[in-house]
Amino acid sequence: MSDKSDQASVILASVVNWKFPAFSEESGIDKVVAFGDSSHKCPVYVQSLPPCTVGCPAGNDIRTWLTTVQLSELKGRSREESFELAWHEASKTTPFPAVCGRVCPYPCETACNRIEKVDGAVNIHAFERWIGDYGIEHGLKHRRLSQVIRDKKVAVIGAGPAGLSCAFQLARHGYPVTVFEAFAETGGMLRYGIPAYKLPRAVLDAEVAAISEMGVEIICNTIIGNDRGLDALQDEFDALFIGIGAHRELRLGLEGEEAYNVISGVRFLNMIHFGTMVELGNKVVIIGGGDSSISAARVARRLGAEVTILYRRSRAEMPAIKQEIEAALAEDIEIQFLVAPVAIEVRDGRAISVECRKMELGEPDESGRRRPIPIAGSTFREQCTTLIPAIGQRPRWRDAKRYVDDTNQLKPNEDMAVDDGVYVGGDTLSLGLVTTAIGEGRKAAERMIARMEGEKISIQEVVPIVGPEKMRLDYYGKKVRNRGSYLPESQRLTGGLELELNAGMSKEQFLAEADRCMSCGLCFECRQCLIFCPQEAIVEYPQNSIGEAMYTKYNKCVGCHICAQACPCGFIQMGMGDVL
Query: Residue 506 and residue 499: Cα distance in Å, rounded?
Result: 18
Cα–Cα distance, 426 to 284 (Å, whole number): 31
Exposed e or buried b per residue across 68-105, where buried means at least 16 C-beta atoms within 10 angstroms of its C-beta: bbbbbeebebeeeebbbbbbbbbbbbbbbbbbbbbbbb
User: If DSSP states are collapsed to H, E and C, what string results for 56-91?
Assistant: CCCCCCHHHHHHHHHCCCCCCCCHHHHHHHHHHHHC
pLDDT in tens, 551-565: 888 888 888 889 999
Secondary structure letter of residue 470 according to DSSP? G
pLDDT tens across 428-485, in order? 888 889 999 999 999 999 999 999 998 877 666 678 899 999 999 999 999 999 998 9
Is 357's pLDDT higher than 70? yes
Helices 79-90, 124-137: axis angle to 10 degrees equals 110
On whether the CB atoms of residues 531 and 493 are closer than 8 A, the answer is no
H/E run at residue 156: strand 154-157
Residue 39 has a pLDDT of 39
Taking phi over 0 as left and psi of -120 to 50 as alpha, with beta for the rest, 397 belongs to alpha
Give dist(CA 256, CA 97) in Å, integer: 43
Pairing status of strand 538-540 against strand 550-552: antiparallel
Average pLDDT, the chain: 90
Note the pLDDT of residue 543: 86
The model's confidence at residue 30, banded by pLDDT at 50, 70 and 90, is very low
Residue 417: name the closest of 457, 448, 394 by CA. 448
Choice between 165 and 16, residue whose per-residue pLDDT is larger: 165
Q: What is the pLDDT of residues 209-260, one digit of tens each?
A: 999 999 999 999 999 999 999 999 999 999 999 999 898 999 999 999 999 9
Check residue 468 and give its pLDDT: 95
Q: Which of 580, 574, 551 is nearest to 562 (CA)?
A: 574
Q: Which residues pair with 339 in a beta bridge?
A: 358
Q: Where residue 388 falls among pLDDT bands split at 50, 70, 90?
A: very high
DSSP state of 459: P
% of the chain at pLDDT higher than 90? 73
Mean pLDDT within 506-529: 97
pLDDT (mean) for 357-366? 92
Render pLDDT for 102-131 as a digit per residue (tens, 0 to 9): 999 999 999 999 999 989 999 999 999 999
Which of 98, 497, 104 lies closest to 291 in space, CA to CA? Answer: 104
Q: Which residues pair with 34 in a beta bridge?
A: none
In 3-state terms, the chain is what percent helix, strand and coil (to 5)? 35, 20, 45
- Summarize pLDDT for 403-428 with one digit per residue, the tens: 988 777 888 999 999 999 999 999 98
Beta bridge partners of residue 394, listed in sequence order: 248
Quick: pLDDT tens for 347-356.
999 999 999 9
pLDDT recorded at residue 496? 84
Q: What is the pLDDT of residues 50-78, one digit of tens each?
A: 999 999 999 999 999 999 999 999 999 99
Q: Using a cut of 0.85, tell me whether the model's pTM lies above it.
A: yes
CA distance 97 to 190: 13
What residue ranges define each of the domains in the chain, with the CATH number in brackets?
3-47+522-576 (3.30.70.20), 55-141+475-515 (1.10.1060), 154-247+394-452 (3.50.50.60), 249-391 (3.50.50.60)
Q: Which residues contact 132 (CB under 8 A, 6 or more apart)?
A: 87, 90, 96, 97, 98, 99, 100, 101, 203, 207
Across 259-263, 324-328, 573-577, least confident range:
573-577
3-class DSSP string for 205-272: HHHHHHHHCCCCEEECCCCECCCECHHHHHHHCCEEEECCCCCEECCCCCCCCCCCCECCHHHHHHHH
Confidence of residue 146 (pLDDT cuts 50, 70, 90): confident
- The per-residue pLDDT for 40 is 57
Residue 460 confidence (pLDDT): 65
What are the residues facing 358 on neighbouring strands? 339
List Cβ neighbours of 235 (8 Å cut-off, separation of 6 or more).
Answer: none
Least confident of 22-36, 231-245, 303-317, 508-522: 22-36
